[in-house]
Homo-oligomer: A and B are copies of this chain.
Amino acid sequence: MPGEKDRRRSIGARRNPATEAAVLAAAREVLAEAGYAGFSVDEVARRAGAGKPTIYRWWPNRADLLAEVYFADRAARIPEPETGRLATDLAALARSYLGAWRGSPAGAALRGLLAEAQANEAALVVLWERFLPRWSEPVRGVLGEAARRGEVEPGDIEMLAELFSGFLWLRLLTGQTDDDRAAIDRVARLLASARGRKV
């Protein structure tokens, strides 16, 4: 009876792209419906109609999978604002991040990735090597532009990026991803006016 739903199987001695897509889609679904609390490899495998060994073959850590889900999400691709003023750029950037976290599984994925990194050494490595550099690109981009305009001391870029990232993460981790424009604008102005040179 060939009317039955086709089961995905091996396509030979190479990775099956359909399986890869199904796993990522399933992971995304689980995060969207149940958040990180409902995220488990078993559940993802069930939904994807995939075997657990298949998942572990390609994503050795849960953190690996979470990081890939994060960036696979279109909403998580943050546009780099260019208004010519640091305060407004930072505010727009913050609203983009928080909005993406609110409206897509990316927020749950990052919450999970950070949680994972607190108990799992390998997850911390993923966070450092795979996630952080790519994630913070827009932040460093905006600050770099501001430095070229002279709005920011080049030596301040790194710590400003850390302060900005810390603010966003704190909001995410404490469940405050709402669009709090007053707070965001104030933080953006604070950072744009800050100077770290020794006096």
Contacts and interface: CB of A to CB of B under 8 A. Distances in A.
Contacts of A166: 163, 165-170
Contacts of A124: 174-175
Copies in the complex: 2
A159 B37 contact: no
A46 interface: no
A105 interface: no
Contacts of A186: 155-156, 159, 196
Interface stretch (A12-20, A68-76, A111-119): A111-119
Contacts of A112: 118-119
A42 interface: no
Size bin of chain A's contact surface: 35 or more
A153 B127 CA distance: 36
Interface in A87-130: 111-112, 114-121, 124, 127-128
* Main DSSP-derived SS at the A contact region: helix
A150 to B, nearest CB: 17
Interface string A19-54: 000000000000000011100000000000000000
A113 to B, nearest CB: 9
Given A36-B119, A119-B36, A196-B193, A169 B173 contact: yes
